[in-house]
Amino acid sequence: MEPALINGIPAHALLVHLVVVFVPLTALALVVCAAWPPVMRRFGLALPLLALVTLVSVPLTTSAGEWLEKRIAQNVLVARHADLGDGLLPWAVGLFVLSAALWWFYRRAYPATPSFGGGRGSAAGVSIPLRATSVVLCLAVAVGAVVQVYRIGDSGAKATWNNRFSAAAGDNRG
């Protein structure tokens, strides 16, 4: 079942807001959790669940966009927006995989204890090179995902609003 209309409005125009909010939010949470273990311990399962919601929102929005694309006049701007939109799924998969891996790693490194400190699972047991590598990898995927969302949004705004408004107030083009 392809999404079509929600309350008479193309579903893509509404679902795109999920992607615009959840991709940067997931990217930020991923980087913060990778860089600061105490934050990751507090986030817990919420990080991969957030990334899962983000991952699911991308194909839903893309599918709704493909439905809409078949029902509007084609031009270069719409084609560019659609091409860029198709490139977001790998970034969303990357956010999800890294979020799940980070959660799994910290779950093993910091077992559930009342104090999170001392003994098994203490910060001393975490390899600094491994932490640094995970931070760099998470940062690279997070930045790539956010940049891709920006590029898609910019192209979508241009496709939607190109020559459809006047910069001068009161100049109605019809």
Residue 174: its pLDDT value, please? 53
CA distance 151 to 164: 20
Q: Which residue has the tokens 């560019």?
A: 80
**What's the pLDDT tens digit per position in 24-61?**
999 999 999 999 988 998 999 999 999 999 999 999 99
Tokens of 130: 């491994």
* DSSP three-state, residue 87: coil
DSSP 9: E
Beta bridge partners of residue 5, listed in sequence order: 10
Cα dihedral 83, 18, 30, 102 sign: negative
Q: How confident is the model at residue 69 (pLDDT cuts 50, 70, 90)?
A: very high
Residue 107: its pLDDT value, please? 84
Alpha carbon distances (Å) from 88 to 67, 96, 156: 17, 13, 14
Residue 126: its pLDDT value, please? 63
How many Cα atoms are found within 13 Å in the side-chain-facing hemisphere of 75? 11
Q: Which residue has the higher pLDDT, 168 or 100?
A: 100
Residue 124: its pLDDT value, please? 47
Judge whether residue 83 has pLDDT over 60.
Answer: yes
Cα distance from N-terminal residue to C-terminal residue, the chain: 36
Residue 27: its pLDDT value, please? 98
Judge whether residue 2 has pLDDT over 70.
Answer: no
Q: Enter the pTM of the model.
A: 0.85
Q: Which residue has the tokens 């490139």?
A: 87
What b-and-e string marks burial along 83-121, b requiring 16 or more CB atoms within 10 Å of the CB?
Answer: ebbeebeebbebbbebbbebbebbeebbeeeeebeeeeb
**What's the pLDDT tens digit per position in 118-168?**
444 444 456 788 889 999 999 999 999 999 999 999 999 999 888 777 677
The answer for residues whose C-beta is within 8 angstroms of residue 40's C-beta and 6 or more apart is: 33, 34, 47, 102, 103, 106
How many Cα atoms are found within 13 Å in the side-chain-facing hemisphere of 64? 20
